[in-house]
Amino acid sequence: MCDRERGWSEVPLVKTWQLIAGSAVAGLALSAALVVTAGPWDSGQRKAERDRAASWSRTGGADHAAGGGLPQAAPSAPGVLGGLAPRPNAAGAALAGALTPLLADPALGTARGASVIDLATGQVLFESGAGDPMTPASTIKIATASAALAALGPEHRIRTTVTPGAGPGEIVLVGGGDPSLTAKKKSPAGSGGSLVALAADTAQALKAAGTDTVTLGYDDSLYTGPVLHQIGLDANIAPVTALTADEGRPDDSTSGPVDRSADPSKDTARSFAALLRDRGIKVSGEPARAKAPAGAQPLATTLSTPLAGLVERMLTHSDNDIAEALARQTALAAGRPASFEGAEQAVTEKLASLGLDLKGTRFADGSGLNRADRLSTRLLTALLAKAADPRHPELRPVLTGLPVAGFTGTLRTRNTGDSPAAGLVRAKTGTLSVANGLAGTVVDPSGRLLAFAFLAANTPDKAAAEKGLDKLAAAVAATP
């Protein structure tokens, strides 16, 4: 994963921010029971968090709806309303005193960037090298998620279809780039596009038309350019195609490094052919690459997990395959080629349209595996602020998808036990061989909801760098 080896944008001051922050605390300071039982592949945002982390509209309603009372703060969270008064001097000085010595840790390499802001007021509480573009590793997935959600919306679903082919008895499996597509009877990761359901519907349509023998083509032409990531064939990511089932994984894993299929499109078509045969449809010969006729009406369709769920899965488990798929979906929404280059242009343009300062940034990929990526910690906290802004409810899954320290995803084993960050810090990790990062949100002892981002370059040891970053996050959580 990337997690591989293995400026501030203005947030307006509105009177309702206090109520919004009160809702945010209830959602972001979750108890262990909630974060463990909530699954990232739920339809949309996690059900256990939906009425909490998503209750940020100015009317105090649940996700995308008005009405209802504000949820009560979780027992682990301090009250927030009394802590919202701006205290720039005291707050900044306290954080500087806590963070400056920790940033000097040699485990954090030769260059560091740090940014901490108050999400209720937009106040910058601490910065160090915050404007310096650095290799973000997987923290870039925050940007990928934000661009995709802004371009397509949280309810968008990606289609995989079967259409008639150019000749009699021909059908074509057409990929739409669904990263949740599975060939398994029961998806190990929950809801999403199902080749099993698609085969059943296709067989039914064929039999209704009096057809029991077909030749099968597959169309993955929606994506263009190289299918291999810049790092080559790698256990952390499958070749990026528009037709891939189970992320090209040969086993039942749903996250983490594992050897992948060298040709996911063809393997997916083979799986689909086998599913058709199981349902009484004879498939002649091997599936072959083909182009679906223009304007052909689908015989059957299966839909992905809603985009909000894809984003949450990507962020929780640092899923590189989903990240690259979402970057390409952003390119398609912008009318650009669905390639690494087209995705870079589209993500850049979409984030710029949100009013973010992108000076010095580069989105060479969507996953953060490419060392040519560049972000600043100031941009990372600005992205988190956009996701917390009630004017951008479409970006809420960026916050609800962040792993919870000590409990879920890539933070399950970090800042555990009696750490002040446990259960309160939600953050995206980033790990390459010589670059590490951590960016997310936390409720401090005064009840303020803060966003933080830390990046480290030329780190000598991954494990030591992660400990150094965890100490920084814990210090933000513990400093009033």
| Catalytic residue list | 138, 141, 318
The 3-state secondary structure of the chain reads CCCCCCCCCCCCCCCCHHHHHHHHHHHHCCCHHHHHHCCCCCCCCCHHHHHHHCCCCCCCCCCCCCCCCCCCCCCCCCCCHHHCCCCHHHHHHHHHHHHHHHHCCHHHECEEEEEEEECCCCCEEEEECCCCCECCHHHHHHHHHHHHHHHHCCCCCCEEEEEECCCCCEEEEECCCCCCCECCCCCCCCCCCEHHHHHHHHHHHHHHCCCCEEEEEEECCCECCCCCCCCCCECCECCCCCCCCHHHCCCCCCCCCCCCCCCHHHHHHHHHHHHHHHCCCEECCCCEECCCCCCCCCCEEEECCCHHHHHHHHHHHCCHHHHHHHHHHHHHHCCCCECHHHHHHHHHHHHHHCCCCCCCCECCCCCCCCCCCEECHHHHHHHHHHHHCCCCHHHCHHHHCCCECCCCHHHCCCCCCCCCCCCCCEEEEEECCCEEEEEEEEECCCCCEEEEEEEEECCCCHHHHHHHHHHHHHHHHHCC
Q: How many CA atoms, within 13 angstroms, populate the side-chain half-sphere of residue 346?
A: 30
CA dist 157 and 326 (Å) reads: 11
Tally of residues, the chain = 480
